[in-house]
């Protein structure tokens, strides 16, 4: 049940964006750049990072939606769960493991980040821009998780994730988050 009386009881992120359109436009634009803009990371990998961060934060809504989107972009079913259990043993290519370890630490213990954490990622051959892209996805979803949890947004049911994933993956401009009220 939504916590704000301006929202319907069964509010989704779309309802939050419609209700508060002024910050929605720039936030949607940032989603577009971070999740769909040019990057060494695939769209599926960035969506997986979004779902991973959301899983670490126990944000069921964002974890479910973005996990489903990641799968629509070619991420194997079950990979998100394996990463959340243990990055080191997850069946993901080796070069991604330090990136997910970095994102996990940045989400859980941001004040403990060190140059050695970044070096572990860069030593796997990733460019500095790629690390920045991962940091940006991590930051965006720490923000989105707080918006979702802070407003009381909940997925109506498990079928919502696949419907939301279809909408978000079918739209290359990411305007699946835009509403008539958002710029």
Q: Which two tokens stand for residue 34?
A: 């971070």
**Which residues contact residue 135 at a Cβ distance below 8 angstroms, ignoring those fewer than 6 apart?**
102, 103, 106
pLDDT of 178 over the 90 cut: no
pLDDT at 160: 92
Q: Determine, yes or no, domain membership for 10.
A: no
**Residue 157 — very low, low, confident or very high, per pLDDT cuts 50/70/90?**
confident
Using alpha carbons, select from 116, 80, 115 the residue that is nearest to residue 100: 80
**Residue 176 — very low, low, confident or very high, per pLDDT cuts 50/70/90?**
low
Q: Determine, yes or no, domain membership for 37.
A: yes
Among the residue ranges 83-92, 104-113, 129-138, 162-171, the one predicted with the least confidence is 162-171
CB contact burial 122-158 (16+ within 10 A = b; e otherwise) = eeeebeeebbebbbbbbbbbbebbebbbebebbbeee
Q: Determine, yes or no, domain membership for 80.
A: yes
pLDDT at 170: 82
Q: What is the pLDDT of residues 50-69, one digit of tens each?
A: 999 999 999 999 999 999 99
Q: Determine, yes or no, domain membership for 155.
A: yes
What average pLDDT is seen over the chain? 93
CATH number at residue 120: 1.20.1290.10
Q: Determine, yes or no, domain membership for 57.
A: yes
Q: What is the pLDDT of residues 84-97, one digit of tens each?
A: 999 999 999 999 99
Q: Determine, yes or no, domain membership for 4.
A: no
Q: Determine, yes or no, domain membership for 162.
A: yes
């Amino acid at each position: 049940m939504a916590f704000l009386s301006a929202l319907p009881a069964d509010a989704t992120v779309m309802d939050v964006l419609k209700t508060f359109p002024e910050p929605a436009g720039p936030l949607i634009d940032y989603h577009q750049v971070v999740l769909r803009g040019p990057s060494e990371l695939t769209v599926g990998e960035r969506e997986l990072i979004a779902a991973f961060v959301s899983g670490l934060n126990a944000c069921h809504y964002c974890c479910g939606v973005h996990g489903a989107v990641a799968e629509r972009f070619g991420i194997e079913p079950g990979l998100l769960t394996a990463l959340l259990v243990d990055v080191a043993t997850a069946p993901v290519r080796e070069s991604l493991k330090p990136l997910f370890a970095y994102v996990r630490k940045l989400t859980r213990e941001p004040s403990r980040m060190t140059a050695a954490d970044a070096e572990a990622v860069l030593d796997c051959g990733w460019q500095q821009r790629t690390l920045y892209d991962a940091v940006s996805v991590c930051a965006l979803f720490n923000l989105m998780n707080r918006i979702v949890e802070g407003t009381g947004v909940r997925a109506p049911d498990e079928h919502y994730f696949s419907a939301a994933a279809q909408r978000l993956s079918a739209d290359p401009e990411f305007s699946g988050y835009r509403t008539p009220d958002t710029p």
